[in-house]
Amino acid sequence: MDLRATDGVALRFHAYIEHLSKAMGHADRHAPLAEYCTGLLLPGERKSVEPMAARVAPTDVGAKHQSLHHFVAKAPWEGAGLLASVRSFVLPIMEKTAPIRGWIIDDTGIPKKGKHSVGVARQYCGELGKQDNCQVAVTLSLASDSASLPIALRLYLPETWASDDDRREKAGIPDEIVFQTKPQIALDQIRQALADGVQQGVVLADAGYGNDTAFRNGLSTLGLAYVVGVQGSTAVWAPGTAPLAPRQWSGQGRPTKLIRRDDKVKPIKLSELAKGLPRKSWKTVRWREGSAGDLEGRFAAVRIRPSHRDYWRAEPWPEEWLLIEWPEGEDAPTKYWFSTLPADTSIAKLVDTAKLRWRIERDFQDLKQEIGLDHYEGRGWRGFHHHAALSIAAYGFLVAERSPIPPSASIIRALQRQVPEHQEGFRPRGTAQA
């Protein structure tokens, strides 16, 4: 074992925790912060409170379990403040390697069997790929070509929860939290990031957000460019077409200023537009190197105008890009994106930007499988968001270290050197085997 390398990791971890401690307020929370993050980073089948207490304090599990449970579920510190401290430490390190290019909006599902955990409901769970009992959290992540970091996370609260006073009280949901759609939560996270002076990037999101016209308009109002997924059933004005001008005033009644459509002049579905594009519109584009070689596909990019409810508008929606992916051998296109990147943007740049969103999938995979984002067993609003913020804090240290996931051996050794040995035969609750 290279003790010098291990000591270096330990010193950097200590400096990281010292930086994060400023967001904790009371000094009594500094030690649990270090212990909780250590527990999340150490190997273990479960990253809920008691198994972590057994790993960081095997000779005094009961007391440590009580301490960590109070810290994560009850102590009045702000998860948003901790995430801001993580961001201020990790981003400058990320930016030394590559600039921030994307602000990635997404959500992640956490399957749950019971019905009492805050926000749990039968809803679509991306992890399972179907409707099921789960919690859903909306996130905003910053991504460069070499790394990414979640900087905001908030639980989506279904209407059945938001309107139920009894459930709200039991889960400790703050009074100011009301029902919001996921795109509305995402816009709030983006507004806060702008207010905090976070370096801007192109907003990236899947069709769950891109289909929402109010979300796209909100981004444009904030001055942010986007590349967001949309469904093939979305209607647009095809290249070279436009809505009809307002009706000419007849001299009677109130003049109208609304643009029009009729049976001949009308929008077209994206799926139909794609099938009608000439062969020369399609280009083979490579966007990055994957583990099995170059990643490339067949794409087309054309300028269109969205048509959503424009019959209530005096002017058409502004032109923007439509990017389409239609892999060779497929019967129909597989993906569509709207983008407000400049009109002179190349198709290669459009594809490269759209595909940057893959990083959030890796973030969620690592946060769950290696850090334990989805292992929290408490039921309250505060505990859920505290555990999520601490999971991101632990993940942030690995990003700053540019460590592979799972954590490299030097990081694990550095953390294990600070932990006493287990009592012989001890088996905490939540473990599958002794």
3-state secondary structure 84-96: HHHHHHHHHHHHH
Q: 430 or 276, which is more confident?
A: 276
- Residue 4: pLDDT above 60? no
- Residue 69: pLDDT above 70? yes
* Of 372, 304, 299, 387, nearest in space to 338 by CA: 304
DSSP H or E segment with residue 151: strand 148-155
- Residue 2: pLDDT above 70? no
**Phi then psi dihedrals of residue 232, to 5 deg:** -65, -20
- Residue 410 is predicted with a pLDDT of 81
- Residue 424: pLDDT above 60? no
Q: What is the average pLDDT value for the chain, to the nearest integer?
A: 91
- Residue 294 is predicted with a pLDDT of 80
Region 50-68: mean pLDDT is 92
**Is the four-CA dihedral 412, 418, 420, 426 of positive or negative sign?**
negative
Per-residue pLDDT reduced to its tens digit, 212-230: 999 999 999 999 999 999 9
- Residue 123: pLDDT above 60? yes
Kind of pairing, strands 202-205 and 226-230? parallel
- Residue 432 is predicted with a pLDDT of 47
Task: Tell me if 149 sits within 8 A of 87, measured CB to CB.
Answer: yes
Q: 431 or 392, which is more confident?
A: 392
Task: Tell me if 415 sits within 8 A of 34, measured CB to CB.
Answer: no
CA distances from 164 to 161, 178, 344, 379 (A): 5, 11, 51, 16
Region 8-27: mean pLDDT is 93
- Residue 93: pLDDT above 50? yes
- Residue 145: pLDDT above 60? yes
- Residue 429 is predicted with a pLDDT of 47
**Own/partner pairs, 114-119, CB within 8 angstroms, 24+ separation:** 116/170, 116/379, 117/378, 117/379, 117/384, 118/155, 118/157, 118/161, 118/171, 118/172, 118/173, 118/379, 118/380, 118/381, 118/384, 119/155, 119/156, 119/157, 119/158, 119/161, 119/171, 119/384
Burial profile 342-380: b = 16 or more Cβ within 10 angstroms, e = fewer: eeebebebbbbbbbbbbbbeebbebbbebbbbbbbbbbb
Task: Tell me if 120 sits within 8 A of 167, measured CB to CB.
Answer: no
The DSSP 8-state label assigned to residue 109 in this structure reads: E
Region 420-426: mean pLDDT is 52
pLDDT level of residue 156 (50, 70, 90 thresholds): very high
- Compute how many other C-beta atoms are within 10 angstroms of the C-beta atom of residue 269: 14
- Residue 430 is predicted with a pLDDT of 46
CA distances from 388 to 82, 138, 150, 206 (A): 11, 11, 10, 22
pLDDT level of residue 344 (50, 70, 90 thresholds): very high
- Residue 301: pLDDT above 90? yes
Provide, rounded to the nearest whole percent, the portion of the chain with pLDDT above 90: 76
- Residue 127: pLDDT above 50? yes
Per-residue pLDDT reduced to its tens digit, 358-372: 989 889 999 999 999
Q: 257 or 397, which is more confident?
A: 397
- Residue 8 is predicted with a pLDDT of 86
Threshold 0.75, pTM exceeds: yes
* Of 186, 180, 196, nearest in space to 219 by CA: 186
Region 280-306: mean pLDDT is 88
